[in-house]
Structure 1
Amino acid sequence: MALGVFDQFGTVAMWGIPLIYLALSLPWLLFSEPRTHWLSARALSLQSWFLNRFVSQLMMPLNKGAHSWSLILASLMVYLMVMNMLGLLPYTFTPTTQLSFTLGLAVPLWLGTIIIGLRNQPTLALGHLLPEGTPTPLIPVLIIIETISLFIRPVALGVRLTANLTAGHVLIKLISTGAFAMMSLLPPVAVLTATLLFLLTLLEVAVAIIQAYVFVLLLSLYLQENV
């Protein structure tokens, strides 16, 4: 049973080509290049309003030195959100359930914030490893603890995104399997289970959006400490 549930997270290949490459490129294919006659379209206006509000809220706590990251963070937010939601469709593959993919996004971006801090303000960046007013005997211990917590950040970013999406997919798989199994034996219970599955699917759509936002928000907080 466990193999059938978790087998959905394996990389599927067709004609020897892993479908994860198609899943990674599909979100970008859905966004075509804007044209002149689209300027008054409602969908484009709503998309522009959403991106402007998101970028303004994200960049508000940051100083001007971090505003150059607005395009990267906004693109990452849209990319993760669309990819998470596409993974809820039947017979699709969700790359963000792969820890290698989420860590591949988290580690370079986190490392970029650290490099910016060490280059622009090395004293302040290294000062985060030792809180002000620390007693002298605790200085070596706190430096070790803060260093470990610093290097755990990208792991926490990747694991948080993967774990939340994986848990939701597993629950949907288990409940849908139970609904199909009880359809002929206990139809009323199967209807209640299907209703629960519908509500869980709506919750998973919200999780897909929220987790993409949390991923980008935490990156902006890491950037705020280093600019």
Structure 2
Amino acid sequence: MTLSLFDQFASPELLGIPLMALALTLPWTLYPTPSSRWLSNRLLTLQNWFIGRFTQQIFLPLNMNGHKWAILLSSLMIFLMTSNMLGLLPYTFTPTTQLSLNMAFAMPLWLATVIIGLRNQPTHALGHLLPEGTPTLLIPILVIIETISLLIRPLALGVRLTANLTAGHLLIQLISMATFVLLPLMPTVALLTATLLLLLTLLEIAVAMIQAYVFVLLLSLYLQENV
């Protein structure tokens, strides 16, 4: 039974062919292509408004050099949000529950922010490893601690997204199984668990959106330290 709970996180296959590429490509097909017309339909207007507001919110504290990342981070946020929410549908697969995929997003982007900081302002970037006014005896210890905290950032990004989505999916599956088992035995209790399942599903939708936002927000904060 324990293995069956985690089967939903296994990469799907069809005739021995992994469908991970299809799961990664599908979200992009759901969005309408922006139009060059002056007037567009309501869906395009809402989509453009949402992307514009999100981009403005994320890049408000950044200087002009950091605004070059607007298209990249906005696209990443939309992709993560769509993948997370599509995974809540029946008979679907959530690519972002795979730690390998999340690390593939987190590691290169984090490394890019570090390289930009070391290239453009190396003194300021290295200064983060040693707080001002540190006693001489604590300098080696603090440098080691700050270096570890810097290197663990991409791991924290990937694990946070994976753990939140995995925990939510497991809770939904456990409560749904309990609802089906209790329905013929105790209909009243089954009704309560079904209500709890509905509330948990709504919470998971919010978590899917918030975690995508948090992932990109933390990346923008790392970028802010290095531009």
TM range (shorter): over 0.9
Instruction: Name 2:47's counterpart in structure 1.
Output: 47
- 8 Å CA contact 1:24, 1:95 repeated in 2: yes
Deviation at 1:63, TM superposition (A): 0.5
Matches within 5 A, 1:66-81: 66-81=66-81
For residues 194-224 of structure 1, give each alpha carbon's deviation from its aligned partner in whole angstroms, at most 9, with x where no partner exists: 1110110000000000000000000000000
- 8 Å CA contact 2:172, 2:200 repeated in 1: yes
RMSD over aligned CA atoms reads 1.1
Instruction: Name 1:12's counterpart in structure 2.
Output: 12
For residues 91-129 of structure 1, give each alpha carbon's deviation from its aligned partner in whole angstroms, at most 9, with x where no partner exists: 100011000000010000000000100110011001100
Deviation at 1:35, TM superposition (A): 3.6
Task: For residue 21 of structure 2, give the secondary structure of its aligned residue in structure 1.
Answer: helix
Q: Normalization by structure 2: what TM-score?
A: 0.97
- 8 Å CA contact 1:38, 1:44 repeated in 2: no
Q: How many residues align?
A: 227
Stretch of structure 1 that moved more, 50-59 or 201-210: 50-59
Instruction: Name 1:145's counterpart in structure 2.
Output: 145
Instruction: Name 1:209's counterpart in structure 2.
Output: 209
How many angstroms apart in 1 are the aligned matches of 2:136 and 2:148?
A: 20
How many angstroms apart in 2 are the aligned matches of 1:68 and 1:208?
A: 26
For residues 156-185 of structure 1, give each alpha carbon's deviation from its aligned partner in whole angstroms, at most 9, with x where no partner exists: 000000000000000000000000111111
- 8 Å CA contact 2:102, 2:162 repeated in 1: yes
Question: One-letter code of the match for 1:133?
Answer: G
Identity %: 69
Instruction: Name 2:88's counterpart in structure 1.
Output: 88
- 8 Å CA contact 2:32, 2:44 repeated in 1: no
Structure 1 residues 41 and 32 mapped into 2: Cα distance closer, same or farther (>3 Å)? closer
Instruction: Name 1:107's counterpart in structure 2.
Output: 107
Stretch of structure 1 that moved more, 102-111 or 2-11: 2-11
How many angstroms apart in 2 are the aligned matches of 1:39 and 1:78?
A: 23
Question: One-letter code of the match for 2:18?
Answer: P
Question: One-letter code of the match for 1:81?
Answer: M
Deviation at 1:37, TM superposition (A): 6.0
Unmatched segments (≥5 aa) in structure 1: none
- 8 Å CA contact 1:85, 1:208 repeated in 2: yes
Matches within 5 A, 1:173-184: 173-184=173-184
Instruction: Name 1:118's counterpart in structure 2.
Output: 118
Matches within 5 A, 1:126-205: 126-205=126-205
- 8 Å CA contact 2:107, 2:154 repeated in 1: yes
